[in-house]
A and B are shown apart, each in its own frame.
Chain A
Amino acid sequence: MIHLENIAKSYVNGDIRVEALKNIHLHIEKGEFVAIMGPSGSGKSTLMNILGCLDVPSSGVFTIHQQRINDFSEVELAELRNQTIGFVFQTFHLLARLSVLKNVELPMLYRGVSPKERRKRAMELLGKVGLSDRLQHNPSQLSGGQKQRVAIARALANDPDIILADEPTGNLDTMTSMEIMDILSDLNKQGVTIILVTHEEEIATFASRVITVRDGNIIEDTKDALTSEGLS
Chain B
Amino acid sequence: MNLTEYFKLSLDSLRINKLRSFLTLIGIIVGVGSVITVVVIAHSGQEGIIDAVTQDGKNVFYVYNSEPNGIYGSRAALKLTDIDLLKRKLNQEVLISGVNVGKVEVRIGKDLAYMDVQAVSAAYYHMTKNMDIMSGRFYSESEERSIIKGIVVNQVMAEKYFSNAENAVNKKILLNNIPFSIIGVYKEPTFLGMGGDSLTSYMSLALWNRLTDNTQGNITALQIKVINEDIDLHAFMDQTIATLAENHRVPKEQYMTQSVEQTEKIVESVFGFLKILIGSIAGISLFVGGVGVMNIMLVTVMERTREIGIRKAIGAKPLDILIQFLIEAFLLTFIGGVLGVLLGVGIAFLITRLLDWGFVMSWSIVGLSFIITTLIGLFFGIYPASKAANLNPIEALRYE
Q: A residues near B, CB below 8 A?
A: 49, 52, 54-55, 74-75, 78-79, 81-83, 87, 89, 93-95, 97-98, 106-107, 109-112, 115, 154, 158
Contact = CB atoms under 8 A, between A and B. Distances in A.
Contacts of A158: 315
B393 A54 contact: yes
28 contacts: A54-B393, A74-B317, A74-B318, A78-B312, A78-B318, A79-B315, A79-B317, A81-B312, A81-B313, A81-B315, A83-B315, A87-B313, A87-B314, A89-B397, A93-B306, A93-B310, A94-B310, A95-B307, A95-B310, A97-B13, A106-B311, A109-B1, A109-B5, A110-B316, A110-B317, A110-B320, A112-B1, A115-B5
> Which of B2, B315, B316, B317 has the most chain A CB atoms closer than 10 A to its own CB?
B315
A96 to B, nearest CB: 8
Contacts, number: 62
B19 interface: no
B68 to A, nearest CB: 79
A135 to B, nearest CB: 17
A95 B316 CA distance: 14
B394 A54 contact: yes
A122 B321 CA distance: 22
Interface of B: 1-2, 5, 12-13, 16, 306-307, 309-320, 393-394, 397
B107 to A, nearest CB: 82
A147 B280 CA distance: 54
B307 A78 contact: no
Nearest to B13: A97
Contact of B16 (A87, A97, A110): A97
Given A95-B307, A106-B314, 5 more contacts: A52-B313, A75-B317, A78-B318, A81-B315, A82-B314
Contacts of A52: 313
A54 B312 CA distance: 9
A110 B318 contact: no
Nearest to A114: B2
Contact of A78 (B306, B309, B317): B317
B10 to A, nearest CB: 12
A107 B315 contact: yes
A55 to B, nearest CB: 5
A175 to B, nearest CB: 27
A54 B311 CA distance: 12
A109 B5 CA distance: 8
Contacts of B318: 74-75, 78
B314 A81 contact: yes
A135 B13 CA distance: 20
B394 A49 contact: yes
Please list the 10 inter-chain residue pairs (A to B) with the smallest Cβ-Cβ separation, ordered nearest first: A82-B315, A110-B315, A78-B317, A107-B314, A93-B310, A54-B393, A110-B316, A54-B394, A81-B315, A75-B317
Contacts of B394: 49, 54-55
Contacts of A112: 1-2
A61 to B, nearest CB: 21
A10 B121 CA distance: 101
A120 B2 CA distance: 19
Contacts of A54: 313, 393-394, 397
B7 to A, nearest CB: 13
A97 B12 contact: yes
A80 to B, nearest CB: 8
A74 B80 CA distance: 91
A86 to B, nearest CB: 8
A141 to B, nearest CB: 16
B344 to A, nearest CB: 33
A154 B314 CA distance: 9
A107 B16 CA distance: 22
B390 to A, nearest CB: 9
Nearest to B16: A97
B1 A93 contact: no
A114 B35 CA distance: 43
A173 to B, nearest CB: 24
A78 B315 contact: yes
A54 to B, nearest CB: 5
Contacts of A87: 313-314
> Which of B310, B311, B312, B320 has the most chain A CB atoms closer than 10 A to its own CB?
B310
Nearest to A93: B310
A83 B320 CA distance: 16
A183 B1 CA distance: 30
Nearest to A106: B314
A16 B257 CA distance: 87
B206 to A, nearest CB: 87
A82 B309 CA distance: 13
Nearest to B316: A110
B270 to A, nearest CB: 53
B393 A110 contact: no
A93 B397 contact: yes
B317 A111 contact: no
Contacts of A154: 314
B2 to A, nearest CB: 8
Nearest to B315: A82
> Which of A94, A98, A106, A154 has the most chain B CB atoms closer than 10 A to its own CB?
A106
